[in-house]
Amino acid sequence: TANDVARYATIRHMTAHGGLVRLELGGQDGRNPDAVLEAEIPRQRLEALDLSPGRRVALRPRALRLFAGDQAA
């Protein structure tokens, strides 16, 4: 199914917020290299996965929210 297909991105930046870490991700499968995705994961999960900036990761969103960017030219 479509939910079983992972997308890939590279971690650009990480910011800790208490028990959560916000990841800024880019370079999704070569599509729109300027696009940015944000994800939050528990700090313990981040440590268990040994994630760091520059690492390529698989994405399987559970709750997806889209926000329109500034479309002014």
**Residue-wise pLDDT tens digits, 5-61:** 678 889 999 999 999 999 999 876 666 667 788 899 999 999 999 999 999 998 887
Give the closest residue to 13 by CA, choosing from 38, 34, 48, 41.
38
Q: pTM of the entire structure? A: 0.73
Name the band, by pLDDT with cuts 50, 70 and 90, for residue 1. very low
Q: Where are the beta strands (DSSP E) in the chain?
A: 7-17, 20-26, 36-42, 56-59
3-state secondary structure of 68: coil
The first and second tokens of residue 39, run together, are 């994800």
Q: Give helix then strand counts, H and E, for the chain.
A: 1, 4
Alpha carbon distance 18, 58 (integer Å): 24
